[in-house]
Amino acid sequence: MKIAIVTGGSNGIGKATALELGKRGINVILTYNSYKDRAEAVVKEIEKNKGVRAFALKLDLTRISTFDGFVLDVKKSLQDIWNRTTFDYLVNNGGVGGPMMFTEMSEEYFDKILNTNYKGPIFLTQQIVGFMEDAGAIVNTTSSSKNQSFPGYSVYGSLKAAFSTWTRYIAKELAPRQIRVNAVSPGPTHSNFGDGVFDKHPEFIKPLAEQSVFGRIGQPEDMAKVIVSLLSDDFGWVTAQDIEVSGGHLL
């Protein structure tokens, strides 16, 4: 009976990952920030899989002061639902995006990207890794933008690069417990990322699709399958890696 915690699990890649975990018989605690109704809908969908349970908890990655309470909620859920005091997998997926040119960048924007995409996940992991099972696994969601230079993404791409580097360091530190830590770097993906930029501007899709060797942009399910596979024992000899999942974008 495996249990995974997925941050940002109410939509996009996090939702697809939570659903994929459920399909493979893995129980899920997923987090949401603003959309409780969406999170509860994901829970219901997961629990259509026989014998699989799921639960949704609110988490604001920018408010580290609330992490103590979140940890207590996680431990209570583990005990009440699964009669467990530990969990097995962590997917650090929660994050925010959206471009802002360097010359126009505000401190508020910088802090939001920093706290949600980098500082928050690091301190959350610090809080909960103590009751992760030995030989567990962590997957961090970074971004292919860490290796590219699209205008407006200087802060986002830089912090995703930092998150990728942190993945390697923490993989080394957690190795004595046989915990594997890897990352995936999604390329352009049709999710609600960036406040639903592709739904608001479908004209962005075609040029990005033409930059992929497969002629399309990614779907959340493309990322989810790789994330869940990395958690599994099939990748038991893989750690400290950041795998680009972009369909050969800009290859």
Task: Please report, for the domain that includes residue 233, its CATH number.
Answer: 3.40.50.720
Q: What are the pLDDT digits (tens) for 126-174?
A: 999 999 999 999 999 998 877 777 778 899 999 999 999 999 999 999 9
Residue entry with tokens 């596979």: 229
State pTM to two decimals: 0.93
Identify how many contiguous H helices and E strands the chain contains and give both numbers. Answer: 9, 7
Report helix, strand or coil for 189.
Answer: strand
User: Does residue 251 fall inside a structural domain?
Assistant: no
Of residues 32, 35, 156, 169, which has the active-site annotation?
156
What's the pLDDT at 14?
96
User: The tokens of 202 are what?
Assistant: 């479908």
Q: What is the number of residues in the chain? A: 251
User: Does residue 137 fall inside a structural domain?
Assistant: yes
Would you say residue 45 has pLDDT above 70? yes
DSSP H or E run through 56: strand 54-58
User: Does residue 89 fall inside a structural domain?
Assistant: yes
User: The tokens of 91 are what?
Assistant: 């997917």
User: Does residue 250 fall inside a structural domain?
Assistant: no
Instruction: Give the residue numbers spanning the domain of 44.
Output: 3-245
Closest CA to 32 of 63, 6, 68: 6
User: Does residue 136 fall inside a structural domain?
Assistant: yes
Domain count across the chain:
1
What's the pLDDT at 218?
74
Q: What is each CA distance from 50 to 22, 25, 26, in whole angstroms?
A: 9, 8, 11
User: Does residue 107 fall inside a structural domain?
Assistant: yes
Q: How confident is residue 97, by pLDDT bands cut at 50, 70 and 90?
A: confident
Q: How confident is residue 198, by pLDDT bands cut at 50, 70 and 90?
A: low
156 given a catalytic annotation? yes
User: Does residue 116 fall inside a structural domain?
Assistant: yes
User: Does residue 213 fall inside a structural domain?
Assistant: yes
